Amino acid sequence: MKKIALLGATGSIGEQTLDVMRQHTEEFSLFALAFGSNTEKAIPMIREFEPAVVVTGNEKSREEVRKATNHSNILIGEEGLKAASTASEVDVLVNAVMGSVGLPATLEAIKARKRIAIANKETLVTAGHIVMAEAEKYNTPLIPVDSEHSAIFQALNGERMEDVRRLIITASGGSFRDKTREQLQGVKVKDALNHPNWSMGAKITIDSASMMNKGLEVIEAHWLFNMPYEKIHVLLHRESVIHSLVEFKDRSVMAQLGSPDMKVPIQYALTYPDRMDLSNTDSLELEEFSQLNFSKMDLDRFRCLKLAFDAGKAGGSMPTVLNAANEQAVAMFLEEKISFLEIESLVEKSLTEHNSISEPSLSDIIEIDKETRKRVERYVK
């Protein structure tokens, strides 16, 4: 029986992780459940899974959970996330919180040598050099949950990294893939939230529409697979059937295919190197597709992807600024305080005006993250 600490249980990945666990009650149990403030979702989960530890984002949610469940071990905030992730009982940490708030818990779990199923890509974008150095130092496995990275991880099974010629990350194109830049001027929040292939949390759905999600994924791939940016390519593939590919030096290409269902990569991150049945997920029936489409990514049309490549290549504290500015801008777009295209211009302005430092420490990153969010707010005012 593997004991799981699940951070971000009330989110899209969190709920799907619990779905996977429901199918394998002999294999997995929930040791810790962490969420932010959605007690309406969290309370039934706590009743169903009876985790030994609960972590909430604030005092109000703690009180609501305590009243509803009588739970006696409810922790709060960052210290709570760290404690839940590193408890001696935990075998696997599933980090599925949204945003760089997930970083400290990941770092502590690495030190505690827990297997980490990492969905929280912002952690790798904002502090990839620290996370990966620590993972190597403590010999802690980071198993990707993001579907593209899980695809690459699976394609690399049994291969030597020096034989890899390039990674090819596929992109569905998000909600606005068929719109011109002019048509993007007046788009609304509800249009951006309407993703054609995947059902996900609000922030990542906006990131998919702006293509920043693909940019974050390029940086995530750079760190997870220790791959130079020149060897990471992005390919537009609207059907989301091929989740990503690896080309080897003999020009052989391995692809991973499947229905667009996050339960597949979530479960693989929990069971790797084993596989288990996943019966309520659709099989991929290729005959249902008369064709699969591929096209080159237009970096002028999708400026956020270019900004991410540039920030990744520049390195130092630039990816931290990219991520923090984007998190702040997306939050403001969701609150209808800025327009869709302002997301990219705010990120670009933040990057241009930042004096990058090389090799930022954890405290530098936390400081730059805070400062960048404030700066974006000031730009808007």
What, of Mg ion, ligand NDP, none, does residue 151 touch, CB below 5 to 8 Å by kind? none
Q: How far apart are CA 373 and CA 377, in angstroms?
A: 6
Q: Is 114 annotated as a binding residue?
A: no
Q: Check the annotation: does 129 bind a ligand.
A: no
Q: Segment contacting Mg ion (CB under 5 A): 95-103, 124-132, 145-153, 241-249? A: 145-153
10 appears as a binding residue in the annotation: yes
Cβ atoms < 10 Å from Cβ of 89: 11
Q: Closer CB to ligand NDP, residue 120 or residue 350?
A: 120
Consult the annotation and say whether 214 binds a ligand.
yes
- Residues 275 and 270: their CA atoms lie apart, in Å, by 9
- Measured at CB, which residue is nearest to ligand NDP? 11
Tell me the number of residues near Mg ion by CB under 5 A: 3
Least separation in angstroms between CB 265 and Mg ion: 9
Cα–Cα distance between 339 and 139 in angstroms, integer?
44
Task: Say if residue 13 carries a ligand binding annotation.
Answer: yes
Compute CA distances 340 → 117, 302, 348, whole Å.
31, 12, 14
> In the complex with Mg ion, which residue's Cβ is closer, 80 or 319?
319
In this complex, which beta carbon is closest to ligand NDP, that of residue 73 or of residue 185? 73
Distance CA 64, CA 15 (A): 20
- Contact residues toward ligand NDP (CB under 6 A) are 8-14, 34-38, 57, 96-98, 101, 119-122, 146, 198, 200-204, 262
Q: Would you say 267 and 276 are in contact if contact means Cβ atoms under 8 Å apart?
A: yes
Nearer to ligand NDP, 115 or 214 (CB): 214
Helix residue spans in the chain (DSSP H): 12-23, 39-49, 59-69, 77-86, 103-111, 121-138, 147-155, 181-184, 189-192, 202-210, 212-224, 263-271, 303-314, 318-334, 340-352, 362-380
Which position's Cβ is nearest Mg ion? 146
Identify which of residues 101 and 347 has a Cβ nearer to ligand NDP in the complex. 101
CA distance to 45, 156, 242, 243, per residue, from 255 (Å): 36, 10, 7, 7
Q: Is 188 annotated as a binding residue?
A: no
Q: Which stretch binds Mg ion (CB under 5 A): 48-56, 143-151, 174-182, 190-198?
A: 143-151
Closest CA to 184 of 377, 342, 380: 342
18 or 97, CB closer to ligand NDP?
97
> Binding string, 101-140, against Mg ion, x = CB under 5 A?
----------------------------------------
- Choose the stretch contacting Mg ion; rule: CB under 5 A; options: 142-150, 153-161, 187-195, 305-313: 142-150
The three-state secondary structure class of 29 is strand
Measured on CA atoms in the order 76, 106, 15, 195, is the torsion positive or negative?
Answer: positive
Give the closest residue to 240 by CA, choosing from 277, 270, 195, 299: 195
Q: Counting contacts by CB under 5 A, is residue 146 touching Mg ion? A: yes
Structure-token match 């606005």, residue found: 176
CB of 216 to Mg ion, least distance (A): 9
Cβ distance to ligand NDP smaller for residue 57 or 215: 57
Nearest approach, Cβ of residue 174 and Mg ion (Å)? 11
60 class by beta-carbon count within 10 Å (0-12 exposed, 13-18 middle, 19+ buried): exposed
Q: Which chain residues interact with Mg ion by CB under 5 A?
A: 146-148
Known binding-site residue numbers for NADPH: 10-13, 36, 38, 120, 122, 201
Known binding-site residue numbers for Mn(2+): 146, 148, 217
Known binding-site residue numbers for 1-deoxy-D-xylulose 5-phosphate: 121, 147-148, 172, 195, 208, 213-214, 217
